[in-house]
């Protein structure tokens, strides 16, 4: 189950439901689109019944963010070629929603008045190697919107330390704002092969042939991110430095860092968890019938789901992906 569909924060809502509720305060449901793997369309419909079914776009296979953004942009352009658009991941944590929505409205006003591509930058507080970084140009006119100089994807630790020390770099939030026409032109210029695949079939959008057409396009399309394919190459890219409390929740440690802790610095998500003589642990359980009793643990991650149990030191969490891949080789479909 992808993390956007899970109540991973113990709030009673999945991350995609939190994302929808956040944006529904300023954007009507009929103007909200979801692009997801076609396997999850029914799951999106069940979790977000407010969104029109026609606004839930299914991808037949993974092709990274450029194809899915172009797909949505083509659909939106049919409805409103003058639209201003926000692109956001469905699985991020936003702590200060009022500040976030104010930034969104400021950003939409900026891209409506300027022929620019805008991204939100986050002030880094540690040399994280799992995030992309944005280097700003010098701010000559004291504007909050600053032109981007370079993008760097997931640097090694020493380079991340340099970025943090220099003060010129921000984390790339993966949140983008632009007008339909401007991103359309940018993809046409920098990813012409991908753009032409969609353009050749433009008249099929909104017909019964759309699904078959999308399957064919995705089979032929290269997997490429919008960051690498467009944002790193375009000259009209700006960044807005933001401070609304953000995390992409990419690791268990990121959850631990952001959530409320008890006196022993433990974080527990789920019911029936008893910790004794334990400190600095992150414990997650989605089984409300099972009692978890943990003793003499320090700085561990313990995650108990329906079909798997993970126990490892927090400092070794970067190895979890390797462990998971190995477990899948051994146990196949039992691991999800």
- pLDDT, tens only, 219-277: 999 999 999 999 999 999 999 999 898 888 877 887 888 788 999 999 998 888 999 99
pLDDT tens digits for range 106-147: 999 999 999 999 999 999 988 888 889 999 987 766 678 999
Query: What separation, in Å, do the N-terminal and C-terminal C-alpha atoms of the chain show?
Result: 7
Rounded-to-integer distance, Cα 51 and Cα 40, Å: 14
Maximum Cα–Cα distance across the chain: 65
pLDDT tens digits for range 203-218: 899 899 999 999 999 9
SS3 59: strand
Q: What is the pTM of this model?
A: 0.85
Residue 326 pLDDT grade (very low, low, confident, very high; cuts 50, 70, 90) = confident
Rounded-to-integer distance, Cα 217 and Cα 201, Å: 9
Rounded-to-integer distance, Cα 122 and Cα 18, Å: 20
Domain boundaries, the chain: 3-247, 255-334
What CATH topology corresponds to 3-247?
Spore Coat Polysaccharide Biosynthesis Protein SpsA; Chain A (3.90.550)
- In the prediction, which pLDDT does 333 show? 67
Secondary structure E strands in the chain = 34-37, 56-59, 84-87, 93-94, 117-122, 133-136, 145-152, 169-179, 237-242, 246-247, 267-269, 273-276, 282-285, 292-295, 300-304, 309-313
Decide if pLDDT at 334 tops 80: no
């Amino acid at each position: 189950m992808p993390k956007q569909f899970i109540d991973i924060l113990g709030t009673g809502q999945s991350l995609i439901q939190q994302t929808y509720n956040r944006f529904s305060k300023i954007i009507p449901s009929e103007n909200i689109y979801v692009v997801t793997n076609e396997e999850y369309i029914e799951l999106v419909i069940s979790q977000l019944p407010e969104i029109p079914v026609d606004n839930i776009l299914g991808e037949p296979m993974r092709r990274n963010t450029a194809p899915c953004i172009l797909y949505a942009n083509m659909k939106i352009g049919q409805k409103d070629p003058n639209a201003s658009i926000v692109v956001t991941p469905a699985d991020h944590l936003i702590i200060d929603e009022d500040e976030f929505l104010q930034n969104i409205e400021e950003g939409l006003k900026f891209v409506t008045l300027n022929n620019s591509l805008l991204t939100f930058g986050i002030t880094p507080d540690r040399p994280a190697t799992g995030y992309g970084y944005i280097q700003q140009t010098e701010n000559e006119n004291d504007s909050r919107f600053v032109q981007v100089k370079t993008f760097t994807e997931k640097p090694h630790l020493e380079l991340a330390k340099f970025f943090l020390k220099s003060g010129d770099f921000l984390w790339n939030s993966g949140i983008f704002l632009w007008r339909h026409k401007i991103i359309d032109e940018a993809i046409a210029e920098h990813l012409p092969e991908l753009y032409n695949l969609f353009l050749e079939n433009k008249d099929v959008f909104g017909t019964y042939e759309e699904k078959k057409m999308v399957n064919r396009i995705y089979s032929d399309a290269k997997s490429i991110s919008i960051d690498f394919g467009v944002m790193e190459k375009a000259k009209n890219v700006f960044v807005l430095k933001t401070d609304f409390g953000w995390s992409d929740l990419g690791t268990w440690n990121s959850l631990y860092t952001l959530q409320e802790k008890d006196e022993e610095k433990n974080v527990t998500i789920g019911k029936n968890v008893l910790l004794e003589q334990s400190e600095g642990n992150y414990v997650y359980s989605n089984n409300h019938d099972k009692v978890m009793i943990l003793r003499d643990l320090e700085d561990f991650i313990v995650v108990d789901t329906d079909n798997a149990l993970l126990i490892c030191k927090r400092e070794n969490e970067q190895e979890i992906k390797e462990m998971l891949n190995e477990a899948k080789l051994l146990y196949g479909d039992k691991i999800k």
